[in-house]
Structure 1
Amino acid sequence: MQPLLLLVALLLPPGARAGEIIGGQEARPHSRPYMAYVQIHTPVGMTICGGFLVRDFVMTAARCFRRQTVVILGAHNIRRFERTQQHISVLRAIHPRFDQQKNLNDIMLLQLANRARQNRFVRPVALPRTQARLSPGAWCTVAGWGLVSLSRRTDTLQEVQLTVQRDGECHRRFRFYNGRIEMCVGDPRERKSAFLGDSGGPLVCGRVAQGIVSYGNRQGTPPAVFTRVSSFLPWIRRTMSRFQQWGQAEIPL
């Protein structure tokens, strides 16, 4: 357990923690076919992030960037062989100037080396159609394979329902919180949150991916900060359009 915590800490900027599902439950197997398990290989070992399939790309957090990355789609129990799984290498990663010190622009698109085979186990999730903001109190769900406590891990996909909070809740807790491009998620009165080991996972509201797990406090108490997907729609559209042609003469990841 300790080596894993140390590795995760090394991959994060000061004061930030990657996402963990706290206070949730095991998801129904393959009920979230857009989920991606992102394996990140580093010189000191392997760590993980969450992600989600969007068209021919996997969207995740920019803090998860490393040059050797593999995406697993169609998984429920990531420690077992499942015929539903597709293991695909990442060709390149694209993000809009992630600011590690302020945790801003924490969004990244992974272009896969091969197209995902879409079926009932692997299917993309919808993105917002407009840049309209979600109202405080909106119910959403976040899912991932992160730790379920500081002493217990899970091999199966977990999920938890969370509510969108007013920006003031995060302005008071996080120095650089920016409500224009970030979302404040999780009722501070409940022990339900995203915390350690699952950054990059999606916040799904009404079958639409509205947020990306970004960071929270060191105790794992809500609320946590999620990247606001709708704020990046122009960048997402431009990036997908640019790289939609396979086999372009680009420098691979």
Structure 2
Amino acid sequence: MQIYVWLLLPTVLLLPLGAWSGEIIGGRVAEPHSRPYMAFLSRETSTGPKMCGGFLVRKDFVLTAAHCAEGEITVFLGAHNISKWERSQQVIPARAKIPHPEYDEETDNNDIMLLQLRRKAKLTRWVKTIRLPCTDETVQPGKKCSVAGWGWTSADGEETSDILQEVDVVVMPEAACWSTPNGPDENYDPSTMLCAGDPDEGKNPSKGDSGGPLVCGRKAQGIVSCGFGNGTPLAVYTRVSTFIPWIHKTMKKLQP
């Protein structure tokens, strides 16, 4: 396995800035391995290597965003610094990609995907699953949550981080994403999306580390989906609780 890892790591190190699928703005370095559910997705696409985030929900399944489906995906678990090999890491190729059948790439609605791993992850102190919410569980506006990822740390894309970054955000009233400084967003659907950010301090995943979890308490309540651009300090997350029946049905169907 280590031979395979060392062959794969140069691909990660040589990625151009534009290949990163997200950014944590105004965040901080996460305590090493304090988020053992985090997954780093390396994607080999026809236009070059790209990346996304994700999170482990079962030993053999990672949850991420449907817009991360392009390319051959390799999953890094237990990573903190993705520019070097760490003994905590497990590297597992994806066996199958299952985007939600009603994902709409024009509106980003139903932006959720399950990755079935080629083999089960070994749960350790560095690699663990995260709890999911109950079906249709709600998160009240004002709730403080957090999001994490690897990637750009400045809005201009001039600074990057190989080390996991995290930032606190606040769940916003739906009206905040329906009507943004850039005008009303007709694509925002509160039944399948969550709105969160930090308008006061500008702390935000911006475009987000796509596919990473919005963690509220100890549950993954959202999946980083998209931002509004032009510096708007809000982002849209897929509302995980809406898709719990689909998640369980799909994982059961694909059991080995």
Could you tell me the TM-score, scaled by structure 1's length?
Answer: 0.89
Structure 2 SS opposite 1:193 = coil
* Equivalent residues of 2:206, 2:234 under 8 A apart: no
1:149-172 CA deviation, whole Å, 9 max, x = no partner? Answer: 121000100001110000101011
Answering whether residue 99 of structure 2 is matched by residue 92 of structure 1, we say no
Whole-Å separation in 2 of the counterparts to 1:68 and 1:224: 27
Q: 1:117 to 1:132 in 2, by over 3 A?
A: same
1:49-86 CA deviation, whole Å, 9 max, x = no partner? Answer: 00000012100000000241100000000001101101
* Equivalent residues of 1:186, 1:222 under 8 A apart: yes
Other-structure match for 1:11? none
Whole-Å separation in 1 of the counterparts to 2:158 and 2:129: 33
Other-structure match for 1:165? 172
Whole-Å separation in 2 of the counterparts to 1:22 and 1:192: 5
2:70 to 58, 66, 71: 66
Give how far 1:240 is off: 1.0
Answering whether residue 36 of structure 2 is matched by residue 33 of structure 1, we say yes
* Equivalent residues of 1:23, 1:192 under 8 A apart: yes
| CA root-mean-square deviation | 1.6
* Equivalent residues of 1:145, 1:197 under 8 A apart: no
The answer to which structure, 1 or 2, has the higher relative contact order (CA under 8 A, 6+ apart) is: 1
Q: How does 1:201-240 map to 2 (within 5 A)?
A: 201-240=212-251
Whole-Å separation in 2 of the counterparts to 1:78 and 1:220: 27
* Equivalent residues of 1:4, 1:47 under 8 A apart: no
Name the count of aligned residue pairs.
235
Other-structure match for 1:122? 127
Whole-Å separation in 2 of the counterparts to 1:116 and 1:23: 32
Q: Which amino acid aligns with 2:251?
A: M
* Equivalent residues of 1:25, 1:160 under 8 A apart: yes
Give how far 1:3 is off: 4.8
2:51 to 43, 48, 71: 48
Q: Which amino acid aligns with 2:214?
A: L
Q: Which amino acid aligns with 1:102?
A: T
* Equivalent residues of 2:208, 2:235 under 8 A apart: no
2:153 to 148, 159, 167: 148
Give how far 1:188 is off: 1.9
Answering whether residue 197 of structure 2 is matched by residue 186 of structure 1, we say yes
Other-structure match for 2:140? 135
Could you tell me the TM-score, scaled by structure 2's length?
Answer: 0.88
**What are structure 2's unaligned runs of at least 5 residues?**
1-13
Answering whether residue 122 of structure 2 is matched by residue 106 of structure 1, we say no
Higher strand share: 2
Give how far 1:197 is off: 6.2
Structure 1 SS opposite 2:139 = coil
Answering whether residue 87 of structure 2 is matched by residue 83 of structure 1, we say yes
